[in-house]
Chains A and B, each alone.
Chain A
Amino acid sequence: MTRSWHVAALSLALLLLAGAAATAAEIDAKRLMNADKEADNWLTYHGSYKSWHYSALADINTKNVGSLREAWSHVASRSVRGLQSYPLAADGVLYYSGSYNQVWALDGATGEVLWQYKQKLNEDLVAKQTHSPYNRGIALGYGNVYMGTLDGKLAAIDMKTGKLKWETKLVNSEKLTVGFTGAPLLVKDKVIVGAQGGEWPDRGPIFGVDANTGKQLWRFYTAGGEENNGDARNTWLNDSWRTGGGGGWMAGGYDPDTNTVWWGTANPAPLYDWSGPDWKTAGARPGDNLYTTSVILLDPDTGKLKGYHQEVPHDAWDFDSATGEFIMLERGGKKYVVHPSKSGFVWVYDRNAKVQNVWRLIKNINFVQDIKPNGELVGRRDMTAGKHENLCPFIAGGMSWNMGSYNPKTGLLYKVGNEWCMDLEIVKTTPILEPMAQLNIGANFNITNPKGDKAHGHVSGRDPITGKLTWEVKFPEPPLASLLSTGGDLLFVPDPRGWLRAYDARTGKELWKHNNGQGHNGGIISYRAKGKQYIAVATGWGGLAGDDYPSFFGGVFAQMPKDSGVLKVFALP
């Protein structure tokens, strides 16, 4: 073939591609339902409703990853507490959010800025917030970018122009100090978004909003439920449901087969309880405290509670269930939902939330002796007021909110595990019957090494149903960023010190690494733009888990910036 013919063919191909992008179908319910079949795109926080965090693209693979190079980068302004969000890619455009509810749309091939959006925020309010000013992700659909805001709104931003189309106030953040930091989930024509909760006032609501008009359609209170909709206030004696907690601060999942939204909820408040073993009748919040530290099943159209499983009844350790993705799997004709949690255990459900198995991702667990395969907690360590040593895992969790990755080619679930413990002194608090605008934790504590070991992290590849280990790699500090596995048999692990590494997904052999200059605490995706495969990763350090690293681990963390964020994008030369 002659050179000129080659060039002509190439430009024709590019024209066709550009044309395809320009006329790409709107992201609607149907496209989202089939997002896992669009290898070129990454349309939702969890990749697709299967929540695999997997890209089928294989241009970059075990054979050529050694020559992976940085293609372009984008600096996210005002990245206070780093860059914790997840990029999305649709039809050649990359969208991502950053601190203070900023959003960028970039040309996926060149990084050129198409538009930038900055939410108007009350800075006095943001200054009062503890879990702020980061944003962890956005949703795409119906020509909009959807984002939950620090001041309690859901905003719809025009995907083409970056202009605000509408915003709906859902939470009175001015009164309660909490807002939204997690990504919304788009289901059909409803945007579903969960508020912060946990050790906070209010009762951790989850909302359903009309994706086109912005009208609030429903609300579900995770702490205590609602009258005529899963009222569970009798699981909080002495009206302690008023203290609140719960919330769903990470994006949940969706099972199209049963039209069910799955959402993980956070801990009750106060976070620690001085009740000891008498927690059913004594302490700050006697009872099971439904629906905190639970997995709840909601009808996306009405918000009606369809079912639930409380993973940790009366959570007294902050091992909440808000963190884990809902991985939809099929094996041997049976359908499963796999849900990792902060406790260090991984729950395996059928599609009706009936527990099928529970397995351990980490070694250092002693807040219970065990959780049986049927979900029953055995040998709970319910603490009374006073000093307690060597509670494992540490409050930041045996797993954090960073996502794992399931690779259908290897059949393995890749997940970060954290090995660390804590000493604490539980303080007896006065029962609080009204919401408070401050943290409600109820203990002093410090992080410790596990007995006879050093605190560390690991990434392993395991069978998602049984937990059977295929390989494991250790890290001197727990990685706090999400993982990506690909059709090229690769697993990408962004680490806290700044290294981005690629491993052989089958063996765990390290094949490539690159130093991004600062720690990772966000998402990673793969997509194709103008015919080329890219890997995009959020870099930037300083989240609330990582903030313990300088004092505990020292080393490179002592000088790592906590107000810097860069999106880095890699490709083959």
Chain B
Amino acid sequence: MQSGRHTPGTNDNPSTAPASPSATGPASDFDVNQLFASTCGWCHLKGGREAGKGPKLADTQLADGEIIARIRNGKPGQMPAFGSAFNDEQLKAIVGYIRGLKP
């Protein structure tokens, strides 16, 4: 199961809805490479290695918590707020993906 099985109905209120493992599937089945290519790569080019609509993520100066906050909150008119679309483990996996980016 991957992020696509997320049930959008649970996502109505990004600030209060709990991250729901039943909605997004266990982290073990979550392929962060797939996720990035499907959902982030359109703006963060070459898998996050180059700037496009969004900045290059490979050398981000942000702390882990800031990265997670950016994914949750987005930025109006620039990056969508993913709210509770990802659970904590998945967010950790995304941070791990960004930290692991080689040029």
Q: Say whether A associates with B.
A: yes
Which chain A residues in 330-362 approach chain B with CB under 8 Å?
none
- Given A128-B74, A436-B6, A563-B77: A442 and B37 interface contact (C-beta under 8 Å): yes
B-contact bits for A412-450, CB 8 A (1 contact / 0 none):
000000000000010111101111111111111111000
Q: A residues within 8 A CB of B22? A: none
Chain A interface SS verdict (over half): loop
Which of A127, A435, A542, A547 is in CB contact (< 8 Å) with B80? A127
Interface centre among A80, A430, A434 (most CB of B within 10 A): A430
A127 and B41: CB pair below 8 A?
no
- Given A80-B77, A133-B77, A443-B37: A176 and B2 interface contact (C-beta under 8 Å): no
A176 and B8: CB pair below 8 A?
yes
A166 to chain B, nearest CB (A): 25
Which of A133, A201, A425, A548 is in CB contact (< 8 Å) with B8? A201
Q: Answer whether residue B88 sits at the interface, using C-beta atoms and an 8 A cutoff.
A: no
B2 and A430: CB pair below 8 A?
yes
Instruction: Give the docked Cα–Cα distance between A50 and B68 (Å).
Output: 50
Q: How large is the interface on B (under 10, 10 to 19, 20 to 34, 35 or more residues)?
A: 35 or more
A562 and B3: CB pair below 8 A?
no
Instruction: Give the docked Cα–Cα distance between A433 and B73 (Å).
Output: 27
Chain B interface SS verdict (over half): loop
Q: Answer whether residue B21 sits at the interface, using C-beta atoms and an 8 A cutoff.
A: no
Q: A residues within 8 A CB of B73? A: 127
Q: Answer whether residue A38 sits at the interface, using C-beta atoms and an 8 A cutoff.
A: no
- Given A437-B85, A551-B51: A129 and B80 interface contact (C-beta under 8 Å): yes
B2 and A445: CB pair below 8 A?
no
Q: Answer whether residue B95 sits at the interface, using C-beta atoms and an 8 A cutoff.
A: no
Q: How large is the interface on A (under 10, 10 to 19, 20 to 34, 35 or more residues)?
A: 35 or more
Question: Can you list 28 A-B contacts (CB < 8 A)?
Answer: A127-B73, A127-B74, A127-B80, A128-B14, A175-B8, A175-B11, A177-B8, A425-B37, A427-B33, A427-B37, A429-B37, A432-B4, A434-B7, A435-B8, A436-B3, A436-B4, A436-B8, A437-B8, A437-B11, A437-B85, A438-B3, A438-B4, A438-B85, A439-B42, A440-B38, A446-B45, A446-B46, A547-B53
Residues of B within 8 A of A (CB): 1-9, 11-15, 31, 33-34, 36-43, 45-47, 50-53, 73-74, 76-78, 80-83, 85
> 5 tightest A-B contacts by CB?
A432-B4, A80-B77, A427-B37, A547-B53, A437-B8
Additional A-B contacts beyond A128-B80, A447-B45 (16; CB < 8 A): A133-B77, A177-B8, A427-B33, A429-B4, A436-B4, A436-B6, A438-B6, A444-B36, A445-B45, A445-B46, A446-B45, A551-B45, A551-B50, A551-B53, A552-B52, A563-B77
Residues of A within 8 A of B (CB): 80-81, 99, 124, 126-130, 132-133, 174-177, 201, 243, 270, 395, 425, 427-430, 432-447, 542, 544, 547-548, 551-552, 562-563
